[in-house]
Structure 1
Amino acid sequence: MTVHTINDADFIKFLSPHVRSLINISRYLANHSEPRTIITRPLLMKFLAQATKAEELLDMYGASRNRNWSEFRMLVATIKRFSDVSYELIHIRKSLPHYRLLTGVEEFGRATDDIIRFTGRVLTNAAKALAEYSDALGFTISPRQYRDEDYYENLIIGRLAKNFENLKNADVAKEVALLSTKFLGLAANFDLRNIIEAQSPKDYDSYMYSPISEENFLFLEQSFHRLQSLYDTRVSRTNTENEDKDLIVLRGHISVVMHILRVASSLTHFYERHLGTQRSLLAPTGDSLVTSITLLLYINSYSVYYLKHFVLSARLLCQEMLRRYAQDTEIELPIPVFRGFHVRPTVLVSAIVKHYGSKVTAEYDGVEYDPETPLSMFSLNEFVNQKKRDHISHIINDLEEVNKVYKDGELENKCRDMLYQLYSENKIVIYSQPLQLSKMLSDDLTLRQNLTEEIKRQMQIGCLDVVKEYKVKFKGDQRVLDDIKLLAECGYGEDPMGHNIPLPDRLRYLRR
């Protein structure tokens, strides 16, 4: 199929009426003595709409693959992206008094003002470059006069009265639990944790190996948008908001995090698409529009920093709200089959308790332990192992010939035979096959004594365990215990031989 080639003159004639407003706004902004005063939401909305229309037409006709038009298309994309992100930032700044943020409000306000100045400079530089390059291409656009007052955002102080009748009452405890649990789940999201815990990339190479990316920010933005929609559907305009004022505070944190993520996804999109390995994005004149290192600096110091700040603040709030509405109960669960509460099961149980922030205790044989603290559960495990050794000692006492004394190789053979007999009768489990006996068997001891000590040694090094089910009683908030129960039903993340197995989706916050 033959494609008709359009010459530049015909394309300019076609494109001129579609980009007239875009070029005139660019001239207006580029020639203004105080461009910061007119970079307002009314102007940005118009700039964004005109740049979006122009970009679609340029892409339709393959401008990015044309030497003359690829530069024009790049400038249009820059205006579109930085109009969009500037609008988002001004929205954050204007809404700041209504978010009811718990900490760092003044600092965040100053940081937002700073990044607004940065995006405004990039936008002004791009507008100037577009105005100059459109003249160089041969556009003959009649100038239009704009008045500053057309773009002033003259807002009045105050808010409308809340005189709308509330919808029916909702169960405040239920709604708090739902929203807080959902937020905690997002806060523990694998991608989000990686982003806020990662080292800040300083160049393209380190960026490529970091979790900071447009893809991750977009996914998280959509997740927090869904949570905001859930709040507005379930809680907004109900008496529930009046019963617990922290709900409105949580709504503000959800909203500000969502908008920060939008800023982050816009800036990372521009970095990935237009900068990457380049040190600076240059206008056709050779002037720098924005440097790679500066853009990365603002992505890290603004988006990532305050994303972490407000997510962690709201996480503490959610945990406090859950504690306030805790429904205390107790449940008996089996101790892990493979070596009891060793590292992996203990760490997973601890992570569940920390995730909710509620007080939970574990009780075994009349003694209380703290499941949030792995060392406490390790000490519980020692008592369980002692119970197992006592249990197997009683079984060994009933075996024949155990009170005899054997010498040298006969002793080793007898011990091995007895251990495999216990294994065949499902009294013990041997993890390391074939079982290698220690060199500490003593012909001064009876077979019973040697077996008892050898089982103890083999348990200590994880090669053997006693088959006996013991249970531990957990006490605390129903939501926490439900997740611990689900973990127990999945073998505490391990099969009977100690191999890791996938956790259910409800426990995805435990994944690293």
Structure 2
Amino acid sequence: MNANTQGACAAIGPVGVGLIGDREFCDLVSARSRPLLEIASSLAARHAHDVPLTRPLIGRLLLESGQMEALLDEYGARQNQHWSRFRALMAALKNFARIGEVLAYIHRRLPAYRLLPVEADFAAATRERLQQVGGVVAVVATNLLEEAQRVGVQVTDLARLPEDFSERLPPGRLAHNRGDRITGDTATTVTHLATEFLNLAAESDLLRVSARVPPEEYAACFPDPVSEERLRQLTFRFHNLQSLYDTHVAGTSIETSDTNLPILRGHASVIYHLLEIATDLAHYYERHVSPRTGDAALRERPVVDTDATMATLFAYSMAFSSAHLTGGQRLCQGILRRYAESGRLEVPVPSYRGFHVRPSNLVARIVTHYGSAVQMDLDGKLFDAGSPLDLFRANETINARKRRWLAAEIARVLPDRTGALEPEAVAAAVLTIVHRLAGEGKIVLYHQPLQLSEEIGRRQGSVLENSVAEIAQLQATGQLDIRTDLTVTFIGDKRVLADVDALARQGYGEDAFGNNVELPKALSYLRR
């Protein structure tokens, strides 16, 4: 099929589907869009900063714009030059009405969330954004009316709305007089929820990074790290967390007795709703105004202030999501400490150079992630497992034990001989011992040929003592390491110990030669 034929087919429409005349379609849209255009006319007549987004107004906007968008899509308006802008404005009206709905919900529910304090005034910022979005809805409605007139939709003689969409509600709440629900092992669910929140927090670098972006760099964040897809996935996971709480914890005796649990629910909920707003704003930017992916129908003649839209996305939605995420982390760590079940875990010492930088940091990050106190016991000495430096100190004890074991092994393979030997003979003895122990899998060689020190054969003591000292020197310089069956015992919260066990089973993130090893999925938060 050549280009001319393709163009002709595109003009006709999809295969097997006939065309509808512009006049017939315009009459259809005029009849079906009249309720929405009456609302738009009412909004256009008001000052942009005088549009309160009440539930009755938002409900009607979402209903009518959603139905009209579906109708326009059914007839392919998005791909039609005459109707594409009308369809884009319809989608924008629905999009910002939905954003207004979530903002209004947050504003109403804020006292019930009992959120931990953050640096900025979240309540004031929410009121400000709600007012701004009300103005955006009015502006989009005004442009929709103008575009309707341009495409031939009847906009004269629009009836005055009999309702003002105000919402006058009496104060107060119904009495809380139902008994507590009885569920299964709620305590286990609580710890699972707190753990999942911490895992989500560790995987939400997108929010922390975006919260620090200066305004002049907002646009450069698309599509990486910010995109509608990433935000939608994160939104889903926080919504799932909220649902899990409502199913297994809400209304139970444990929720009644632990005042921190409703606060945890509040943090999960407000982050979920903020991410809903962020997702819709990212969708609007990517779909309609982005220079890279936006549809020309709105990109070339935008109706919404892009700077204000991006400020709501970054400086409000993602910035406050990040702030409440941090507060939720502290809350969850406290919950896990209260519900902690202590245990003991014996695991091998890291095979590559013991608790050097990588293993020590990974273990400490697991402990810090949960906020629990965990200790490591080695030969009766206790080390703070949450401190990489303290774990690193354990290498002194580990290496001392390795040297004692090494002396016994050398004595086994090379019985001591009295008297001094020439340096060459000592060197030969050392190499014989090293290669024999390496062949038995008791020493791992990282460097060959081995670079012996200048002290060989010149130290005081026997051949055995010289050999032990020289091999210890080779170990200290990283040319080899000694394999032993040394173990340590971690003591503390069983949830922390389970992750330490998973880490130990993966060689503490490295193989016997110090190369990176992929961590298991359960430890995905350590990859951040």
Q: Do 2:69 and 2:87's aligned partners in 1 also have CA atoms closer than 8 Å?
A: yes
Q: Does 1:457 align with 2:473?
A: yes
Could you tell me which residue of structure 2 aligns to residue 368 of structure 1?
A: 382
Q: Does 1:212 align with 2:223?
A: no
Q: Do 1:280 and 1:290's aligned partners in 2 also have CA atoms closer than 8 Å?
A: no
Tell me, in whole angstroms, the C-alpha distance in 1 between the residues paired with 2:299 and 2:406.
85
Q: Do 2:430 and 2:471's aligned partners in 1 also have CA atoms closer than 8 Å?
A: no
Tell me, in whole angstroms, the C-alpha distance in 2 between the residues paired with 1:146 and 1:61.
29
Pick from 440, 463, 478 the counterpart of residue 425 of structure 1.
Answer: 440
Could you tell me which residue of structure 2 aligns to residue 389 of structure 1?
A: 403
Look up the equivalent residue of 1:313 and give its one-letter code. Answer: G
Could you tell me which residue of structure 2 aligns to residue 475 of structure 1?
A: 491
SS in 1 for 2:50: helix
Gaps of 5+ in 2: 1-14
Q: Does 1:29 align with 2:43?
A: yes
Q: Do 1:331 and 1:481's aligned partners in 2 also have CA atoms closer than 8 Å?
A: yes
Tell me, in whole angstroms, the C-alpha distance in 2 between the residues paired with 1:283 and 1:321.
51
CA offset digits 1:28-72 (Å, max 9, x no partner): 101124663443221111111211122222222222222221111
Q: Does 1:510 align with 2:523?
A: no
Look up the equivalent residue of 1:143 and give its one-letter code. Answer: L
Q: Within 5 A, what are the aligned runs for 1:18-167? A: 18-33=32-47, 36-104=50-118, 107-141=121-155, 142-147=157-162, 149=164, 151-167=165-181
Could you tell me which residue of structure 2 aligns to residue 440 of structure 1?
A: 454
Q: Do 1:133 and 1:284's aligned partners in 2 also have CA atoms closer than 8 Å?
A: no
Look up the equivalent residue of 2:446 and give its one-letter code. Answer: Y
Q: Does 1:193 align with 2:186?
A: no
Structure 1 residues 35 and 43 mapped into 2: Cα distance closer, same or farther (>3 Å)? farther
CA offset digits 1:115-165 (Å, max 9, x no partner): 11222222111111111111122112440111453x011122111011223
Look up the equivalent residue of 1:208 and give its one-letter code. Answer: F
Structure 1 residues 213 and 242 mapped into 2: Cα distance closer, same or farther (>3 Å)? same
CA offset digits 1:393-413 (Å, max 9, x no partner): 232234157666555666545
Tell me, in whole angstroms, the C-alpha distance in 2 between the residues paired with 1:338 and 1:488.
12
Tell me, in whole angstroms, the C-alpha distance in 2 between the residues paired with 1:70 and 1:403.
97
SS in 2 for 1:476: strand
Shift of 1:173: 3.5
CA offset digits 1:347-379 (Å, max 9, x no partner): 111111111111111121221111111010111
Shift of 1:110: 0.6
Shift of 1:80: 1.0
Structure 1 residues 55 and 488 mapped into 2: Cα distance closer, same or farther (>3 Å)? same
Shift of 1:182: 2.1
Q: Does 1:328 align with 2:333?
A: no
Tell me, in whole angstroms, the C-alpha distance in 2 between the residues paired with 1:166 and 1:250.
19
Tell me, in whole angstroms, the C-alpha distance in 2 between the residues paired with 1:56 and 1:34.
27
Structure 1 residues 460 and 58 mapped into 2: Cα distance closer, same or farther (>3 Å)? farther
Structure 1 residues 30 and 461 mapped into 2: Cα distance closer, same or farther (>3 Å)? farther
Q: Do 1:423 and 1:429's aligned partners in 2 also have CA atoms closer than 8 Å?
A: yes
SS in 1 for 2:291: coil
Look up the equivalent residue of 1:424 and give its one-letter code. Answer: G
Shift of 1:212: 2.0
Tell me, in whole angstroms, the C-alpha distance in 2 between the residues paired with 1:401 and 1:26.
99
Tell me, in whole angstroms, the C-alpha distance in 2 between the residues paired with 1:145 and 1:505.
59
Pick from 253, 264, 279 the counterpart of residue 278 of structure 2.
Answer: 264
Tell me, in whole angstroms, the C-alpha distance in 2 between the residues paired with 1:332 and 1:279.
54
Q: Within 5 A, what are the aligned runs for 1:219-230? A: 219-230=233-244
Q: Does 1:497 align with 2:513?
A: yes
Q: Do 2:426 and 2:457's aligned partners in 1 also have CA atoms closer than 8 Å?
A: yes
Q: Within 5 A, what are the aligned runs for 1:278-357? A: 288-357=302-371
Structure 1 residues 418 and 320 mapped into 2: Cα distance closer, same or farther (>3 Å)? same
CA offset digits 1:399-452 (Å, max 9, x no partner): 1576665556665454333311121122211133x3331453534246545533
Pick from 21, 24, 30 the counterpart of residue 10 of structure 1.
Answer: 24
Shift of 1:382: 2.2
Q: Do 1:126 and 1:283's aligned partners in 2 also have CA atoms closer than 8 Å?
A: no
Structure 1 residues 479 and 305 mapped into 2: Cα distance closer, same or farther (>3 Å)? same
Look up the equivalent residue of 1:464 and give its one-letter code. Answer: L
Look up the equivalent residue of 2:483 and give its one-letter code. Answer: V
Could you tell me which residue of structure 1 aligns to residue 289 of structure 2?
A: 275
Tell me, in whole angstroms, the C-alpha distance in 2 between the residues paired with 1:86 and 1:343.
49
SS in 1 for 2:135: helix
Look up the equivalent residue of 1:145 and give its one-letter code. Answer: R
Q: Do 1:281 and 1:289's aligned partners in 2 also have CA atoms closer than 8 Å?
A: no
Tell me, in whole angstroms, the C-alpha distance in 1 between the residues paired with 2:343 and 2:128.
50
Could you tell me which residue of structure 1 aligns to residue 4 of structure 2?
A: none
Tell me, in whole angstroms, the C-alpha distance in 1 between the residues paired with 2:321 and 2:419.
70
Tell me, in whole angstroms, the C-alpha distance in 2 between the residues paired with 1:444 and 1:457.
14
Tell me, in whole angstroms, the C-alpha distance in 2 between the residues paired with 1:364 and 1:268.
52
Look up the equivalent residue of 1:488 and give its one-letter code. Answer: A
Tell me, in whole angstroms, the C-alpha distance in 2 between the residues paired with 1:34 and 1:374.
56
Structure 1 residues 426 and 37 mapped into 2: Cα distance closer, same or farther (>3 Å)? closer
Could you tell me which residue of structure 1 aligns to residue 10 of structure 2?
A: none
Could you tell me which residue of structure 2 aligns to residue 416 of structure 1?
A: 431
CA offset digits 1:256-286 (Å, max 9, x no partner): 1111111111111111111112899999898
Report the TM-score, using the length of structure 2 for normalisation: 0.89
Tell me, in whole angstroms, the C-alpha distance in 1 between the residues paired with 2:37 and 2:478.
74
Structure 1 residues 284 and 332 mapped into 2: Cα distance closer, same or farther (>3 Å)? closer
Q: Do 2:289 and 2:302's aligned partners in 1 also have CA atoms closer than 8 Å?
A: no
Gaps of 5+ in 1: none
Shift of 1:313: 0.7
Q: Do 2:372 and 2:492's aligned partners in 1 also have CA atoms closer than 8 Å?
A: yes
Tell me, in whole angstroms, the C-alpha distance in 2 between the residues paired with 1:282 and 1:425.
71
